[in-house]
Amino acid sequence: MARTKPYADASRTRASTWPWLGWALVILIADQVTKTLILNRYQLGDATTLTSFFNIVRAHNTGAAFSFLAQAGGWQRWLFTGFGVVAALFMLWQLRAHPGQKLFSFSLASILGGAVGNVVDRLMHGYVVDFLDFHWAGSHFPAFNVADAAITVGAVCLILDELLRVRQAR
């Protein structure tokens, strides 16, 4: 993920990491507030239908995305917590190195806020609290949360940033 010219960060000396850390903190706070609301108002498995395609539910995910390794016996909690911590440290390093690259930094800060939100859940509860349930014609997309949405938006923006960088290099 090394950043090279011509998309290099010419404004590194002027740009600050703090706005990006602030954005990650906003995501973290929004994620934890919404999860606390769900934990306080819903029992595991409870659901409220809001539209014909969307429910609020309370689900616990002991695995990773799409419940990968959810039934592994408990060791995965520490594996995914470790991955989250290592990823967060890497993103902090990248944000510090490239704060002037706006789309790149927005992407990393979004992923960072979401990753830390899910790490907090794993440490506090042993699972990630999911509550957004989209469905269509009887098929449900796996429930997710604000952190997962931020990670997804960040990943899409990171891909877009790379495509723009490669295109600009030509």
Q: Where are the domains of the chain?
A: 18-169
Residue of 31, 121, 133, 148 marked catalytic: 148
Higher pLDDT, 31 or 169: 31
Per-residue pLDDT for 34 more than 60?
Answer: yes
Edge to edge, the sheet with strand 139-140 lists 47-49, 54-61, 128-136, 139-140
Higher pLDDT, 162 or 6: 162
Provide mean pLDDT across the span 58-67.
Answer: 76
Q: Any catalytic annotation for residue 133?
A: no
pLDDT given at position 79 = 78
Per-residue pLDDT for 10 more than 50?
Answer: no
Task: Kindly report the number of other CB atoms within 10 A of residue 55's CB atom.
Answer: 17
pLDDT band at 120 (very low <50, low <70, confident <90, very high): very high
Q: Are the beta carbons of 30 and 22 closer than 8 angstroms?
A: no
d(CA 45, CA 43): 6
Per-residue pLDDT for 8 more than 70?
Answer: no
d(CA 108, CA 158): 7
pLDDT given at position 75 = 62
Q: Any catalytic annotation for residue 130?
A: yes
pLDDT given at position 76 = 64
pLDDT given at position 158 = 97
pLDDT band at 7 (very low <50, low <70, confident <90, very high): very low
- Mean pLDDT, rounded, of the chain: 87
pLDDT given at position 91 = 94
Residue of 31, 121, 130, 133 marked catalytic: 130
